[in-house]
Amino acid sequence: MTVEHTGQVAEHAAGQAAESGGGATQYIQHHLHHLQFKVGDSAFMTLNLDTIFFTVLLAGLFLIVFLTTARRATAGVPGKFQAFVESIVGFVDGMVRETFHGRSKLIAPLALTIFCLVFLMNFMDMIPVDWLPGAWMKGHEVAGNDPHHAYLRVVPTADLNTTLGLSLTVFLLIQVFGISHKGIGTFTKEAFTAPFHATGPVGMVLLAPFNLLLRVIEELVRPLSLTLRLFGNMYAGELIFILIALMTWNAAFSSGLTYVMAPLQFVSGFVWTAFHILVITLQAFIFMMLTIVYLSMAAESH
């Protein structure tokens, strides 16, 4: 990440914000605002077009890379890129074999898709924070529109809608796996008889409401934890990059501090970028592993 260039763009964009009366606060708000399209007059039916665009773009990139590599794969000594792709596939396949104890042809491709797609969406946070939004604003200005209303966010997983959608998909798959592996009868029975078991019919009837309540809580906590963990980490990472980009602009108002803050901005940006690479990879891995674990638990009998 070229922090110096990011700082220069931040100074220009924040300077434009200051001219319109908002200053650094408006600069931050501008970066955290989505390119949106409202369907009708309902605020509920608002689409974040930037999130949709980058999600589809990255999903297409994932498919193109892996399908092309699979079709061009050669026996014997593979090329460097083929070896890289095969290492990812082998790593995910190993995790699935160790974690999922049932039989399913869907789990390994699903885990690979989740890991790669979430990682790619997270990796968008590595792009300097003002590059794409700045280019989008410049394009609006060239087209004769107001650049201050040209919004663009490039990290899909920093949007709560994305992480919630992924988590709800996993939640639905858990129910489908449970029913397909156990049958509707056993699946329903477990909801009323686990984790507290009773030997007689009276005890089963008395414990059934408590078991059902615990089952509902358990099922609802899973997508909630998946959603908030991924969203919280990526939103915080994006916000920290924005604050780092503002360092030299804030110092510009104090004589002599720019030369002090510019090196500090570079060091801060470099350190946070290096740390954030670990964060985005770890979050993709955690989301994948929890999905495998939840599906494995759904396929097993209590």
List the catalytic residues: 225, 229, 233
Looking at this protein, which amino acid is placed at residue 23? Answer: G
- The answer to whether 292 and 95 are in contact (CB under 8 A) is yes
- The answer to whether 241 and 125 are in contact (CB under 8 A) is yes
- The answer to whether 275 and 82 are in contact (CB under 8 A) is no
Nearest Cα to 159, choosing from 220, 227, 112, 60? 227
Looking at this protein, which amino acid is placed at residue 61? Answer: L
CA distance 165 to 163: 5
- The answer to whether 36 and 151 are in contact (CB under 8 A) is yes
Sequence-ordered strand ranges (E) for 39-152? 46-48
What's the half-sphere exposure (Cβ side, CA atoms, 13 Å) at 23? 4
- The answer to whether 58 and 120 are in contact (CB under 8 A) is yes
Pairing of β 36-38 and β 46-48:
antiparallel
